[in-house]
Structure 1
Amino acid sequence: MMNYAPLYATVLFAQVALGMLTPLTPILLIAHGVPTFAIGIVASAYYGGMLVGSMVVPSVLLRIGHIRALVIFCVVAADATLLINGVAAVVPWIAIRFVIGVCSIGMFTVVESWLNASARRAVRGRVFGFYMFASWTGSVLGASSLSLFRSAESLLTLAVAAFLTALLPTTILTRVAPSLPTRARLSLRDLFALSPAGVVTCFAAGMSSGMFFSMFPVVMERAGIDQKGISLGVSLCLLAGMAMQFPVGLLADRIRRVVIVRMALLVAMAACVGLFMSHALVWFAVFGSAYGATAGVLYGLGVGMTADRAAQEQLLGVSAGVLFAWAAGASCGPLLAAGGMAALGYAGVFAMLLVLFGVVLGIVLRRERPGIVTVEALPR
């Protein structure tokens, strides 16, 4: 795993910045008097940027390579973060969050395609378990910083520094990036042919992330919890997700990933029921931690299910495709969450998540055939 340490460090620092900006964005918008639905639009702009980026980034990566692409995405994300300070209008927020979304999906595509191209199938669960552990660790550190720094200027400066630091480990400590295939993307039809359950799991991971993390701070604020309590609740949720990444990755190298997905979905549904009935910080923390520990492992498992069935030359397309599925779910998640909150009260987001996980569970209960599927062999 030490061979991938620079990539893990890159993800760690990038997620410190992103983990800080995700809860800070709704807090700043609330302070400016922006209504809940408009906050949902701003959150969706970030995921919309990820969606657009997932379609554009593979071609950029093929044109200039992994390392140069990473430098571009980190620097542009830092520049966009600098523009946030003092912005009160919704439209500039939408533009800034969109750009950061494009850059974030660029960073993840670089790292994930690198890992997929280098990792053997027998250890892919552990490789991605460490990757997700680094990602969630960064998110925990970023979210925790909200309770350490009162000033928005200090938080934004720290986010800029984290984005710039993210490019250093990979650019300094790695000499040779993996070779790139001639094909940048796979169609959704090709991805579903590889692993329907894997693609749907990645989509659900994105939608649930967009719904939960964009609106969980709003839900707690509406329940009367202060900023320190909000930071604690989000941090505990992220900490639980972080703690589960490597154990689940290790387990996924020993049993079928789809079995773990089914168990995770059942526990996440139970956590959503508990969150729907919660009104105090202690219950938000307890059920939020259960949610983070289970919903937080879905994306890594979905990637593994899809990559396990792909040929070597398809792995960049798989990395871009599952990120597209994740971003597609995440981009509409905040709007659906805001709609659920408008219809059912501030806890409506958890009812929407319960329905989502129930539908996905019904889909992944269908067994997949083991083995590798090459899309060139599929009927057109």
Structure 2
Amino acid sequence: MLRQQVRAVSSLLSTMTLIGLCVGMTSTLLSLRGTIEGFSTFTIGLIMSAYFIGFLFGTTRAPKDIRRVGYIRAFGGLAALGTVAVLVQSIWIDPTVWFVMRFVSGFALSAMFVIAESWLNTMADNRNRGALLSVYLVLIYGGLIVGQLILGLVDPASFVPFAIIALLINVSLIPILASVTVEPTTHTPKKVPMKLLLEQAPLGLFAAFLAQGCYAMFYGVGPVYATMVGLSVGQVSIFMAAFIFGGLIAQTPVGFLSDRYDRRLVLAGVTGAGAIVALVLSQVSITNPIWIYIGMGILGGCLLPIYSLAMAHTNDYLEKDQMIGATGAIIKVGGVGAIIGAPLGAALMQFANINMFFVMMAVLAFMISGYSVYRVTQRAKAPDQIHSALTSLAPAQPSEELLAGLIEEANEDFEEPDGKIPVKPGSSGPV
């Protein structure tokens, strides 16, 4: 059954793999090119934060526009918008222009992920939705990794990498535009006040906020750090790819452990280990880069599952009809953390010490670990932890649960030309 459904959405999976590849290339490329052009580290951090601002706008506003023009046309228009943003950045080398275009990229790409994951949710059922989304996430991670490696083969000071990204975005449209599509369906969410989340699962919000700040710092100024310590462009691409690869490998075992033991203890363990690895990396010399690559792989394996664990932990204490609303709230809180993370890391690197890149990661991880242990002493483990496919969200994509809530909100606000409100689809059940 799963094989048949993967085959049925193979065109969509191909499209999103290419989009993931473009996402992986773009952030690293802009960091490297900004360094070459003489932008300060703090300026690069601000430019990178614009992506996450656009991400929040894209996931909250785009579904309403998608509802008006249709999913296919919206996807094509957003791809064109993303292409324009990349090409403008290659032509007009200016921090202000790059900030605006990075915002546009965040808006376009987040909305494209909303469309794609809506498709997957429609094609799957409750028996294999988690497995299908896992295939999707593996392909996205694969695209992110390959994107880093491709960047190591081209000169970031030239027009070529920008042209490659623009070309791949356009090529990615071919499979999805040539396929037969199914309109996504959603189920009716129950809005969850932030106060309730703070009462029921404060650890989830806390961990999501700090984790996304950590991810934004890595994707936004990680290439700057690697360049400043003396790594070549090719080595920078491996440096970035190793972190992502470690997260990909760790997802399944960490998810397995968290479904069988107290999720808070698993969260405390991986973040504590990640903090120690980050501190070690802050003292490692680049004379032997292989140790840095190994350390980055371990660090990614420790830190990238944090967001998934935070999401799953929060859901452990909620009713099923609250999960969509809660997921949307958590992602928005995490988005704020991402907006702050890149500029904060960049400022510390520029005005304090270059090694603050890893030191700050260690501090954030220790804070999550310590608070996780504290929460264990304050409340018993959830009676029945939710067994779900854990998704690790780099700050590039919304979750399938969030998009369902967003599209539902769009349905509520949108009126057809005859004045009738669209009928809300029936429930398909959460992942």
Structure 1 partner of 2:366: 358
Alpha-carbon offset, residue 260 of structure 1:
3.5
**CA shift for structure 1 position 252:** 5.1
Q: Give yes or no for contact 2:316–2:382 (8 Å, CA) kept in 1.
A: no
The equivalent of 2:247 in structure 1 is: 241
Q: Secondary structure at the match of 2:38?
A: coil
Number of equivalent positions: 373
Q: For 2:168 and 2:304, how far apart are their aligned partners in 1?
A: 22
Match of 1:20 in 2: 25
Establish whether residue 268 from structure 1 lines up as the match of residue 274 from structure 2.
Answer: yes
Q: TM-score, normalised by structure 2?
A: 0.75
Higher helix proportion (structure 1 or 2):
1
- CA distance 1:171–1:163, shift in 2 (3 Å): same
Question: Displacement, 1:54?
Answer: 3.3
Report deviation, 1:245. 3.0
152, 157, 160: which one aligns with 2:163: 157
Structure 1 gap segments, 5+ residues each: 374-380
Quote the residue 2:349 is aligned against.
341
- The verdict on how the C-alpha distance between 1:93 and 1:13 changes in structure 2, with shifts beyond 3 A counting, is same
Paired AA for residue 296 in structure 1: L
Contact preservation (8 Å) 2:212, 2:335: yes
Larger Rg belongs to: 2
CA shift digits 1:136-181 (9 cap, x unpaired): 2111111111122226322112212332344454554453233234
Q: 1:43 aligns with which of 48, 72, 77?
A: 48
Match of 2:37 among 9, 32, 39: 32
Q: Mean alpha-carbon deviation: is it higher for 2-11 or for 288-297?
A: 2-11
Q: Is the 8 A contact 1:128 1:249 kept in 2?
A: no
Aligned to 1:376: none
Equivalence map 1:1-380=2 (5 Å): 1-2=2-3, 3=5, 5-6=9-10, 7-61=12-66, 66-112=71-117, 126-150=131-155, 152-170=158-176, 172-173=178-179, 175-181=181-187, 187-189=193-195, 191-192=197-198, 195-249=201-255, 257-280=263-286, 281-306=289-314, 317-365=325-373, 366-367=375-376, 369-370=382-383
Gaps of 5+ in 2: 387-431
Deviations 1:200-228 (A, max 9, x none): 33323311111122222111211122212
| TM-score of the superposed pair, with normalisation by structure 1 | 0.84
Tell me, yes or no, if the aligned pair for 2:119 and 2:184 is still in contact at 8 Å. yes
Task: Tell me how far 1:336 sits from its aligned partner.
Answer: 1.0
Shift of 1:196: 3.5
1: distance between equivalents of 2:198 and 2:124?
Answer: 22
Query: Measured at CA, do residues 209 and 130 of structure 1 come closer, stay the same or move farther in structure 2, by a change above 3 Å?
Result: same
Amino acid corresponding to residue 34 of structure 2 in structure 1: L
* Structure 1 residue identity aligned to 2:137: M
The farther-off stretch of 197-206 and 107-116 is 107-116
Decide whether the 8 Å contact of 1:133 with 1:246 is kept in 2. Answer: no
Given that residues 113 and 315 in structure 1 are in contact (C-alpha distance below 8 angstroms), is that contact kept between their aligned partners in structure 2? no
Residue 61 of structure 1: CA displacement? Answer: 4.9
CA shift, 1:95, in A, is: 0.4
2:267–2:309 CA contact under 8 A, matched in 1: yes
SS of the equivalent of 1:336 reads helix
Which letter does structure 2 place at the counterpart of 1:103? A
The more displaced of 59-68 and 127-136 is 59-68
Distance 1:160 1:220, change over 3 A: same
Q: Relative to structure 1, is the Cα distance of residues 269 and 118 closer, same or farther in structure 2, using a 3 angstrom cutoff? A: farther
Moved more, 65-74 or 277-286: 65-74
How many Å separate the matches in 1 of 2:298 and 2:308? 17
